[in-house]
Amino acid sequence: MPQMNLVQAVNSALRTEMRNDEDVIVLGEDVGKVGGVFRVTQGLFDEFGDDRVIDTPLAEGGIIGTAIGMALYGLRPVPEIQFSDFIFPAFDQIVSEAAKFRYRSGGEYTVPMVIRTPVGGGIRGGHYHSQSPESLFIHTAGLKVVCPSNPYDAKGLLLSAIRDDDPVLFFEPKRVYRAVKMDVPEDEYTIPIGKAKVVREGEDVTVVGWGAMLFEALASADEVAEEGVSAEVIDLRTLWPVDIDTIVESVKKTGRLVIVHEAPKACGFGAELLSLVTEKAFVHLEAPPVRVTGWDTPFPYTLEMEYLPLQHRITPALLETAKYIP
């Protein structure tokens, strides 16, 4: 089985589905000849041509609006937004249009579209190449939001997303793009949207993360194990609709919860997760749930490793939560 990094796995998913289904269209800035600034779409232009891999003018609102039109016609567009920090000119088209077509038209129209976009920091990109805007889209009725942490999940989730009849935001953790290699089948396989994965079992504390922070959570789990704390690590994979059952089941076992995300704390997705767990497992909680997140500041350049909720911040949170005595 070939070893792939996340860039290659996403590329493999796109290539697979473009071969399967001629209605799948890739469009965006620089996605054609050069294969995208991260080379995720490399080679697709040569294989499928310029009317299936389209270099668009530089306007995110135009990319998404045009992709919506294609989807309304019956195609399955996969637009790329070069960095998720640049998604905001398209916000209106995503939240007021793509997300609402099915509902507002009484089911006459649907928008089967996957918006791929690199997310997150740690690549020396500064404020405009590092943000994590997922909660803005989770807050919007009608969207699904996916964020794989590794190459294998990325391929399987992207194939599911393209075949899904609802619009999907597909956040690719750019810090992981070339950092991890693993076995990824050449053949097609899917991973269902809406299913989290317990990637490490434990007894004392549950830690929920996704994307690049999953690896930080796993490193912290290893670290606290040396101090006799057994952490259960959940990779959310799909952020919305969230697999709340997997989280609640784990919290019922451990009684303790730590949520990790790069996005700022205020109204970050951790706030919603914490509320849901409190609603559904209040009596099982043995310690105050904790969020380890980006600060409520703009994303900084020089001090980005002090902004991110990395292992050095997750480990003490796990220890404190696991050892908390009311």
Partner 1 sequence: MQTEQVVPIRTPESSFDDEVVTVIGPDGKVRPEADPKLPVEQVLDLYKAMVRTRIIDTQLERLQRQGRIGFHIGSLGEEACIIGSAAAMRPQDWIFPCYREFGALLWRGFPLQSYVDNMFGNAEDVVMGRQMPDHYSGKKYNFGSVSSPIGTQMTQAVGFGWAAKKKGTDTVVSVYFGEGATSSNDFHTGMNFAGVMDAPVIFLCRNNRWAISVPSEKQTASKTFADKGVAYGVPAVRVDGNDFLATYAVVRECVEKSAKGEGPFLVEMLTYRVGGHSTSDDPRAYRASDEVDSWRQTDPLVRGRKHLDTLDAWSDAEDEAFRKDTEAELKACIAAAEEKPKPALSTMFEGVYDETPWHLKEQQEQCENGPRAKEHH
* Interaction between residue 50 and partner 1 (CB under 8 A): no
Nearer to partner 1 (CB atom), residue 54 or residue 180: 54
* Interaction between residue 75 and partner 1 (CB under 8 A): yes
Q: Which of 69, 192, 288, 298 binds partner 1 (CB under 8 A)?
A: 69
Q: Tell me: cis bond preceding 192? Omega within 30 of 0 counts.
A: no
Rounded to whole angstroms, the maximal C-alpha distance in the chain is: 63
Nearer to partner 1 (CB atom), residue 24 or residue 310: 24
Q: How far is the CB of 69 from partner 1 (least distance, A)?
A: 2
Burial class (CB in 10 A: 0-12, 13-18, 19+), 285: middle
CA distance 55 to 294: 34
Contact 80, 90 (CB under 8 A): no
Structure tokens at 44: 């697709």
Interaction mask 255-294, partner 1, x per CB under 8 A: ----------------------------------------
Q: Which of 10, 13, 100, 309 binds partner 1 (CB under 8 A)?
A: 100
3-state helix, strand, coil in the chain (%, to 5): 40, 20, 40
Q: How far is the CB of 72 from partner 1 (least distance, A)?
A: 5
Place of tokens 């405009």: 128
Residues 134-163 that bind partner 1 (CB under 8 A): 141-142, 144
CA distance 215 to 85: 23
Nearer to partner 1 (CB atom), residue 62 or residue 316: 62
Place of tokens 């490490």: 200
Q: Binding residues for partner 1, per CB under 8 A?
A: 51, 54, 56-57, 59, 61-62, 64-75, 77, 89, 92-93, 96-97, 100-110, 141-142, 144, 164-166, 194, 241-242, 244-245
> Any idea which residues carry the catalytic annotation?
129
